[in-house]
Structure 1
């Protein structure tokens, strides 16, 4: 997305996978062993408030950005703001409120581009965001990373790009010396419905000599030094993140009469985890420390049945009793543990209705969880919430993954 990006889909060296998503395999252990969270923005500011200046800064201007883009990027809350509902909004508008000048003359559009340069950068790890992309011919949303200001020599990793003329397809690409612009090395994934119809989770897992791309927790592409045609591998230093919505350009083409403005990209959250070179497979001894996780629905606690730490034990709700079977610890690798084992979606599945169980910790990224400030216990790979089945308030009620709905049977507190 940085310069000279004439990325015609047929010109990108790509692997295309079509159709729906499938449940993750229990053997799908991340090569980039996921460590603790090093960056997070949940965008919980008030409606119309600016982004957190300690985490993000702005690119400003209408130079075309090496791609013949048409927008002028501003730092205005008309284009980049928090919506008051837990989202970042980046809005492209057909307007020119301040006589902005672009590479082609008087600008026709404004939009936003924010980045973590000089605020946060990292080598290796998991970089992910939950995003609902905008739609329309000539609209070009992206979540991507740069390794410095000497493009392409310092590298580019495109975590998510979409162009409006291909609404069902996500593209993931790397650019480096000898394989930039139309020669970028990439893959894509096409699903059955437009990506802009819902939030999706876009991620890369990056480790020495390997980068993997994921859509909603399912890998669709990877690249290593053997795939860059003998050119230099430049993914061994800090990269920073960028979020933007471009308008027009050589790849998406320009807006036409079918394009509706304004167009907004909503970002639910951005999170980064460290890379852990121990493989993420070390299981600590059982611990009696941690916190109970109490339900807002019934005041009961998440419990390991009979206090028996056997693989596949289906977790349940039970009267809070202070035993080790109800003491859960959030660990630096993102796992949630009790009695030395991990809180786990059964079978590695990430779909609605997936049972929650206890399993030996194995480094699989599907075993990562976070408790949000709003009390949602969220699986990071699925972006779904831990839910009490059928709103059952009795002892023995079971747990499952389900779309987050803000209901009492999905709200939790440490006790």
Structure 2
């Protein structure tokens, strides 16, 4: 939300890499192999009896005020301001009240609300992250669905704002990234405005990101309205290739939205129908082809298991030299050895080979539902050299471009 909030309460969490759901690009061939399946790694549909608190196995409720943004609310514990409605929704309620004589940075607090996060419960690296919500309305309201990088050291650890709304813009939501040198009001993002003067408070909408090693795309109800990559940072550091956790909150007042005024009615509610994270399943197979440009296969030259054997493109032939296992440890294996970036290289053009599995970062791969195979250390894609589909063309890593020579289907 444009600056750190209650960061003292955010816990360190860890997660294995998982990947973005996006439109598949399948190479032309008679019988395309099965694409990487999408799986749900986090879901909360907020089912339960009316008045129940949020599921503590998925969320922790934060408490306190927030001087960083000069917000006016005090975040309360338990189900005082966040509870299930018995109809499959979480309702976060902001009220003009102070039943507990709560103290805020400016004195006696004027409002209560709720904020919760998944730190220590769930973190994710890459994926399709979405929430279906109906936001509140009114001057000074500031609902948000966002993420913080771990371990939290804002802004260096990064922030992804999936959806923010400030009450004086009832028809517009914002998506933003923050990091070292581009934080606070210097965050990089864009807004999305509903057509015809509609207000977001009038209906439920789905706010989402599709997050890959080299990009984050924001959407509302399936309509993508911006995409950000390292090229947008002007040489500053892209800090979005590690685990992040999710946050839901409803703030009242602050630098950006301004404070409530006489036109603002209370209580106001952020109603959340569902929060879900979908990633590709790269957690191991019995071994099969990886198919790419011109329907050809990733192949170990000469079917040799010797260290340093080149990995190339070749006609699919069903041999063990083309049977690859994508493992839950991030490795891709054939003939008992690992797909390896030669010499631990990270530069464009670093070639691929077969090598004993060492656990090194040059043997770690992220296979996305968008059909990219990425080495996270280099933040580069598995690539057919020169876009050449001839048998024997060496495979390499290269800056991800979305080209056909970087699209793969894993069976």
TM-score (norm 1): 0.60
Which residue of 2 is the match for residue 52 of structure 1?
Answer: 55
The separation in 2 between residues aligned to 1:257 and 1:29, in whole angstroms, is 50
Which residue of 2 is the match for residue 247 of structure 1?
Answer: 252
Which residue of 2 is the match for residue 222 of structure 1?
Answer: 227
CA 1:157 to 1:30, structure 2 compared with 1: closer, same or farther past 3 Å? Answer: farther
Deviation at 1:88, TM superposition (A): 0.3
Aligned positions of 1:11-410 closer than 5 A:
29=24, 35-64=38-67, 66-148=68-150, 149-192=152-195, 193-275=198-280
CA 1:59 to 1:2, structure 2 compared with 1: closer, same or farther past 3 Å? Answer: farther
Q: State the SS of the aligned residue for 2:96.
A: coil
After TM superposition, which residue ranges in structure 1, 4 or more long, deviate above 6 angstroms? none
Deviation at 1:63, TM superposition (A): 3.1
The separation in 2 between residues aligned to 1:183 and 1:260, in whole angstroms, is 31
CA 1:40 to 1:4, structure 2 compared with 1: closer, same or farther past 3 Å? Answer: closer
- Do the aligned partners of 1:133 and 1:266 also contact (CA within 8 Å) in 2? yes
- Do the aligned partners of 1:140 and 1:252 also contact (CA within 8 Å) in 2? yes
- Map Cα deviations across residues 319-359 of structure 1 (whole Å, 9 max, x no partner): xxxxxxxxxxxxxxxxxxxxxxxxxxxxxxxxxxxxxxxxx
Q: State the SS of the aligned residue for 2:173.
A: strand
The separation in 2 between residues aligned to 1:164 and 1:30, in whole angstroms, is 40
The separation in 2 between residues aligned to 1:238 and 1:140, in whole angstroms, is 25
The separation in 2 between residues aligned to 1:260 and 1:30, in whole angstroms, is 49
Which residue of 2 is the match for residue 3 of structure 1?
Answer: 3
- Do the aligned partners of 1:35 and 1:125 also contact (CA within 8 Å) in 2? no
Deviation at 1:218, TM superposition (A): 1.0
Please identify the structure whose Cα radius of gyration is greater. Answer: 2
- Do the aligned partners of 2:2 and 2:183 also contact (CA within 8 Å) in 1? no
How many residue pairs end up in the alignment?
262
The separation in 2 between residues aligned to 1:147 and 1:165, in whole angstroms, is 29
- Do the aligned partners of 1:173 and 1:187 also contact (CA within 8 Å) in 2? yes
Q: State the SS of the aligned residue for 1:93.
A: strand
Structure 1: 5+ residue runs without aligned partners?
6-26, 284-362, 366-415
- Map Cα deviations across residues 151-174 of structure 1 (whole Å, 9 max, x no partner): 010100000000000000010000
- Do the aligned partners of 1:2 and 1:151 also contact (CA within 8 Å) in 2? no
- Map Cα deviations across residues 272-300 of structure 1 (whole Å, 9 max, x no partner): 0124579xxx99xxxxxxxxxxxxxxxxx
CA 1:49 to 1:30, structure 2 compared with 1: closer, same or farther past 3 Å? Answer: farther
The separation in 2 between residues aligned to 1:276 and 1:107, in whole angstroms, is 46
Q: State the SS of the aligned residue for 2:231.
A: helix
TM-score (norm 2): 0.60
Structure 2: 5+ residue runs without aligned partners?
6-21, 27-35, 290-368, 372-411
Two-structure CA RMSD over aligned residues (Å): 2.6
CA 1:154 to 1:127, structure 2 compared with 1: closer, same or farther past 3 Å? Answer: same
- Map Cα deviations across residues 250-277 of structure 1 (whole Å, 9 max, x no partner): 0000000000000000000000012457
